[in-house]
Amino acid sequence: MIETILNDKQLFFGILGIIFLLSVFALAPVIAPQNPYNYGPDILNGIGENGHLLGTNKMGQDIFSMIIYGARTSLQVAVISALISGLIGIIIGGIAGFFGGIVDEILSEIINIFMMLPTFFLILLIISLFGNSIYNVMIVIGLTTWPRNAKLMRGEALSLRERTFVKAATAMGENKPQLLFKYIIPNGLFPVIANTTVGMANAILTEASLSFLGLGDPNIISWGQMIYEGKSYLTSAWWIAFFAGIAIVITVTIFYLLGDGLNHVMNPKHSVGKGV
Amino acid sequence: MKRYIGKRVLTGIITILIVFSINFVIINIAPGDPVKTLMGQETDDPELRAALEEKYGLDEPLPVQYLTYLKNALKGDLGISIIYNRPVIKMITEKLSATILLVLTSAILSLLIGTIMGIIAARKEDSIIDLIFSGFSYILNSVPSFWLGLLFIILFSTVLKILPTYGMTNVRTSYTGLAYVWDVIKHMVLPVSTLVLIQIPLYFRIAKSSVLQVINEDFILTLRATGMREKKIFNKYVFKNAILPTVTTFGISLAYLITGVVLIEIVFAWPGTGRLVLTAINQRDYPTLMGIYLIMSVSIAVMMMIIDILYAMLDPRIRY
């Protein structure tokens, strides 16, 4: 296990990065020099001015502290939306692959169709109609990004149901739902987990894009909203938008590294050329 | 082949129907009643309300309403904008040419640059060039497009004052002819560069991995054993086989661009559909937002259909 992690650079740095992000998440109040929800007297301070490491915005909020707290928002969005999308994908894909035949044909066609829909704009439409609370954002991202997970799970289920241990369980008289939830899904989970990691990266980017369009939750601090706000101060206070973007790039890269690393470990044969 | 095309066209039509259905469902389950959604939360004009109710048959049962809605939408009637009081379809088509200009230019440029980078990286695998290109593409993949655009603005509006960062033409002058074209090209440089940079990883990844895959196949080894020159093997055999997946990638990239361009247009104040989206969001102009969503989805569905059929023609092995 440890050897595998050390041998695959992407997996190694991915795991290291996740540990780093989780510590920022957990220790935010300790790391952040100020409470970013408090407005201060130092308005639009530059880098290092009055002890503000990365400056302040027009409300006098400390940019460095905002970035630390923004990590909480991004990770929450990533994890919750990925859980929803993973769960739906696993169930639909599992049923399609396990039952096969006409069920599979119909479900596969549905999966293909949903893969063709422009997800981002659908999310945008729903958020603007239903309100921009961060929970809505998480749920809608989860509800619209399941098809890829379903496709992967379906492939796994198709091959798993032919395996001897599943046949043995069938012979033992276990019924279909038992087979599906006890044998097929747990054994076919790994590709979905790897894909979900990439899905988390995309969820963070989606949340940022929504915030940039003014559809972010005004009650929380998020990197996307910092960029949105910083847009008006590009020439006078570039640090507001700049560092929030760097935070997004680092976090998303970490999730991509982890996803690619997990993929390599899962099918070492296919790793040629995939390490791009 | 005919069967495949027939099946693919059918899927395309179903996709479009599903898009319309999603729109219909959203209007009906959104908070507040549908008429309010369509005429704006603040207005309360009984005449307008009656007209809308009549048009969409809102006193009829839901299935009938759905059919009425479909009939209107298929005729190209996407409703009336709350803010501008004009047909949504007209407003969108007016802005479409500016958007298409950006989308196509950046799609073609990123296809060329990304694919060439991928081929170079694959042919010199593990060289320093490969490492630089791969790292560059990996990081770019994680960059939010709109933020990259903002970085360009910071750079070009404060440090390098050589390119315009705003709009499509210089409004203070009224160029005509060649001068006008040159002006538009100058304004296009930054938005197009942003979109191209964001798209490069997609093509780079596909080109690199498919070239590597073909190079490692047995028939290439055989050709090498016959003593054929490496250059000839590549031009005659590897390239043709490796370039195929790029066709599908081009479709995916166009689909991404059609929605992704909205953000970039907003960053650079490009007068395309992006501006329309932003005002529609800010003013809660739902008919316009929905109209844009419908047009985007339909064009993506049609495009994907064409790309899939094209791919099946190019590669006889593909039949779903």
In chain B, residues 111-130 whose CB comes closer than 8 Å to chain A: 121-122
Q: How far apart are the first and last CA of chain A?
A: 23
What are the extents of the domains in chain B? 1-83+283-320, 95-280
Tell me the pLDDT band of A80, cut-offs 50, 70 and 90: very high
How far is Cα A248 from Cα B178, in angstroms, rounded to an integer? 41
A–B CB contacts, 8 A cutoff, strictly below: 142
Residues of chain A with pLDDT > 90, as a percent, come to 8
Q: Which of B121, B259, B281 sits opposite A128 (nearest CB)?
A: B281
**Mean pLDDT within B235-247:** 80
pTM of this prediction? 0.84
Full 3-state SS string of B119-146? HHHHHCCCCHHHHHHHHHHHHHHCCCHH
Task: Note whether B28 contacts A: Cβ–Cβ < 8 A.
Answer: no
Q: Is pLDDT at B274 greater than 90 in this prediction?
A: no
Q: What is the pLDDT of residues B167-213, one digit of tens each?
A: 777 666 676 777 777 777 778 888 899 999 998 998 898 888 888 88
How far is Cα A237 from Cα A46, in angstroms, rounded to an integer? 7
ipTM: 0.83
pLDDT on residue A89: 92
How far is Cα A123 from Cα A144, in angstroms, rounded to an integer? 7
Q: Is pLDDT at A245 greater than 80 in this prediction?
A: yes
CA distances from B205 to A118, B212, B213, B315 (A): 22, 11, 12, 20
Cβ atoms < 10 Å from Cβ of B220? 17
CA distances from A182 to A166, A189, A215 (A): 10, 12, 41
From the options 3.20.20.150, 3.40.50.2300, 1.10.10.1200, 1.10.3720.10, give the CATH code of B95-280: 1.10.3720.10
Q: What is the pLDDT of residues B13-44, one digit of tens each?
A: 888 888 888 888 887 777 766 676 666 666 66
pLDDT on residue A175: 82
Note the maximum CA span of chain B. 84
Q: Which of A128, A241, A274 sits opposite B150 (nearest CB)?
A: A241
Q: What is the pLDDT of residues A104-153, one digit of tens each?
A: 888 988 888 888 888 888 888 888 888 888 888 889 899 888 998 998 89
**CA distance, residue B176 to nearest chain A CA (Å):** 32
Tokens of B271: 């007068």
- If phi over 0 gives left and psi between -120 and 50 gives alpha, with beta otherwise, what is residue B40? left
Full 3-state SS string of A30-95? HHCCCCCCCCCCCCCCCCCHHHCCCCECCCCCEHHHHHHHHHHHHHHHHHHHHHHHHHHHHHHHHH
Q: What is the pLDDT of residues B47-56, one digit of tens each?
A: 777 777 766 6
- Name the nearest CA neighbour of A236 among B149, B158, B164, B156: B158
